Amino acid sequence: MSEPLSRRRFLQLSGAAALGATALAACGSGGGAGGDQITYWGAFQTKDLEKYFKENFIDAYNKAATGADALKVNMTVKQIETIDRLTQTAVASGSGPDLIATFGPAQTLNYVGNGNLLPLDPYVAQYGWQDAFLPWALDAGRVDGKLYSLPANLETMAVFYNPATFAQHGWKPPTTLAEFEALCQDAKGKGMVPVGAGNAEWKPATEWDVTWVWNTFAGPTALYEALTGERRWTDPVFVDAINLLKGWFDKGWFGGSTDRYFTNKNSTVYSQLAGGGAALVFNGSWAFAEIGPYFGEAAGNDATWDFAPLPSLGSGVPAGVQPLSVGAAYSINKDCAQPARAADVLNYFVTDPARQLGTLAATGLPPAPVKVAEKDFPASTDPRVRRQYLALSSGANIGYTTWTFWPPKSDTYIYEQMEKVLVGQLSPQDYCAGLDKVFQEELKAGQRPPVPAPTGA
Amino acid sequence: MAIMQVHRSAAPAARPGHAERRTRLRRAAVGFAFMAPLLVVNVVVIAAPGAMSIWYSFTDWTGLGPASFVGLDNYTNLLGDPEFHNALLHNTLWTLFFLTVPMAMGLFGAFLLSHIRRFQMLFRVAYFIPYVVATVVSGSIWESLLSPDQGIGDGLAAIGLPWLKDVNFLGDPDLALGTVAFVNTWQWWGFLVVIFLASMQAVSPQLYEAARLDGANRWREFWHITLPGIRPTLMFLGLMTVIWSFLIFDYIYILTQGGPAGSTDVLGTLLYRNAFANLQAGYAASIGVVMALVSVIAVSGFLYLRRRGWDI
pLDDT in tens, B8-36: 444 444 555 788 889 999 999 998 899 99
Residues of chain B contacting residue A203, judged by C-beta atoms under 8 Å apart: 257-259
Q: What was the ipTM of the complex prediction? A: 0.81
Task: Give the C-alpha separation, B90 to B245, whole Å.
Answer: 10
Same-domain check for residues A201 and A57: no
| Residue range B232-250: mean pLDDT, rounded | 94
Picking from A94, A103, A100, the residue whose alpha carbon sits closest to that of residue A27 is A100
- Determine, for residues B64 and A423 on separate chains, whether the beta-carbon distance falls below 8 Å: no
Of B267 and A36, more confident = B267
pLDDT in tens, B43-52: 888 899 899 9
pLDDT at A363: 87
Write down the pTM of the prediction: 0.84
Choosing from A385, A409, A432, the residue where a domain stops is: A385
Task: Give the C-alpha separation, A140 to A346, whole Å.
Answer: 17
- Domain membership of residue A247 (yes or no) is yes
Q: Residue A246: what residue type? A: K
The sign one gets for the Cα dihedral A92, A96, A99, A100 is: negative
Same-domain check for residues A308 and A187: yes
pLDDT at A60: 93
pLDDT in tens, B277-297: 888 999 999 999 999 999 999
| Residue range B181-209: mean pLDDT, rounded | 94
Nearest CA in chain A to B140: A4
Same-domain check for residues A36 and A145: yes
Task: Give the C-alpha separation, A316 to B131, whole Å.
Answer: 59
pLDDT in tens, B131-178: 999 999 999 999 999 998 888 888 888 888 888 888 999 999 999 999
Kindly give the residue spans of alpha helices, DSSP state H, lying in chain B: 2-42, 48-56, 73-79, 82-114, 120-132, 135-145, 152-158, 176-200, 205-213, 218-221, 227-229, 231-247, 250-255, 267-272, 281-307
- Determine, for residues B170 and A422 on separate chains, whether the beta-carbon distance falls below 8 Å: no
| Residue range A313-332: mean pLDDT, rounded | 91
Is the separation of the CB atoms in A166 and A278 below 8 Å?
Answer: no
Residues of chain A contacting residue B262, judged by C-beta atoms under 8 Å apart: 416, 419-420
Mean pLDDT of chain B: 90
Choosing from A288, A306, A324, the residue where a domain stops is: A324
pLDDT in tens, A144-196: 889 999 999 899 999 999 999 999 999 999 999 999 999 999 999 999 999 99
- Determine, for residues B65 and A88 on separate chains, whether the beta-carbon distance falls below 8 Å: no
Same-domain check for residues A293 and A164: yes
- Determine, for residues B168 and A262 on separate chains, whether the beta-carbon distance falls below 8 Å: yes
| Residue range A1-26: mean pLDDT, rounded | 35
pLDDT in tens, A199-236: 998 899 999 999 999 999 999 999 999 999 999 999 99
Is the separation of the CB atoms in A253 and A141 below 8 Å?
Answer: no
- Domain membership of residue A394 (yes or no) is no
- Collapsed DSSP state (helix, strand, coil) of residue A254: strand
- Domain membership of residue A69 (yes or no) is yes
Same-domain check for residues A27 and A143: yes
Which of A192-196, A392-396, B76-80 shows the lowest mean pLDDT across its residues? A392-396
Same-domain check for residues A118 and A213: no
Same-domain check for residues A289 and A214: yes
Task: Give the C-alpha separation, A78 to A83, whole Å.
Answer: 6
Among A115, A262, A412, select the one facing B259 at the smallest CB separation: A262
Mutate to test the interface with A, among B81, B86, B253, B279 (most CBs of A within 10 A): B279
- Determine, for residues B262 and A416 on separate chains, whether the beta-carbon distance falls below 8 Å: yes
Task: Give the C-alpha separation, A419 to B305, whole Å.
Answer: 45
- Determine, for residues A419 and B260 on separate chains, whether the beta-carbon distance falls below 8 Å: yes
Size of interface A-B (CB pairs under 8 A): 75
Is the separation of the CB atoms in A212 and A220 below 8 Å?
Answer: no
Distances from the Cα of B111 to the Cα of B175, B196, B204, B211, B311, angstroms: 31, 8, 14, 16, 21
Distances from the Cα of B199 to the Cα of A268, B191, B195, B232, angstroms: 48, 13, 6, 9
- Domain membership of residue A1 (yes or no) is no
Chain A interface residues (partner B, CB cutoff 8 A): 84-85, 88, 91-92, 110-111, 113-116, 199-200, 203, 257-263, 268, 408-409, 411-412, 416, 419-420, 422-423, 425
Domain count within chain A: 2
A320: how many CB neighbours lie within 10 A of its CB? 18
Same-domain check for residues A197 and A298: yes
Q: What is the CATH number of the domain that holds A89?
A: 3.40.190.10
pLDDT at B15: 56
Same-domain check for residues A187 and A229: yes
Task: Give the C-alpha separation, B65 to A110, whole Å.
Answer: 9
Distances from the Cα of A57 to the Cα of A41, A51, A385, B196, angstroms: 13, 10, 22, 58
| Closest CA of chain B from A440, distance in Å | 15
Q: Residue A354: what residue type? A: A
Q: For chain A, what percent of residues have pLDDT higher than 90? A: 60
pLDDT at B16: 59
The total number of residues written for chain A in this structure: 457
| Parallel/antiparallel/unpaired status of strands A38-43 and A73-78 | parallel
Choosing from A385, A411, A436, the residue where a domain stops is: A385
Asked if the C-beta of B135 comes within 8 angstroms of chain A's C-beta atoms, the answer is no
Mutate to test the interface with B, among A5, A111, A263 (most CBs of B within 10 A): A263
pLDDT at B3 over 70: no
The β-bridge partners of A278 are: A193
Among B64, B171, B273, select the one facing A263 at the smallest CB separation: B171
Q: Residue A196: what residue type? A: G
Residues of chain B contacting residue A449, judged by C-beta atoms under 8 Å apart: none
What does DSSP assign to residue A235? Answer: S
| Closest CA of chain B from A259, distance in Å | 4
Same-domain check for residues A162 and A251: yes
Same-domain check for residues A320 and A341: no
pLDDT at A12 over 50: no
Same-domain check for residues A286 and A249: yes
| Residue range A263-269: mean pLDDT, rounded | 93
| Closest CA of chain B from A427, distance in Å | 13
At a CB cut-off of 8 Å and minimum separation 6, what does A92 contact? B63, B64, B65
Residue A36: which domain range?
Answer: 7-154+326-385
pLDDT at A163: 97
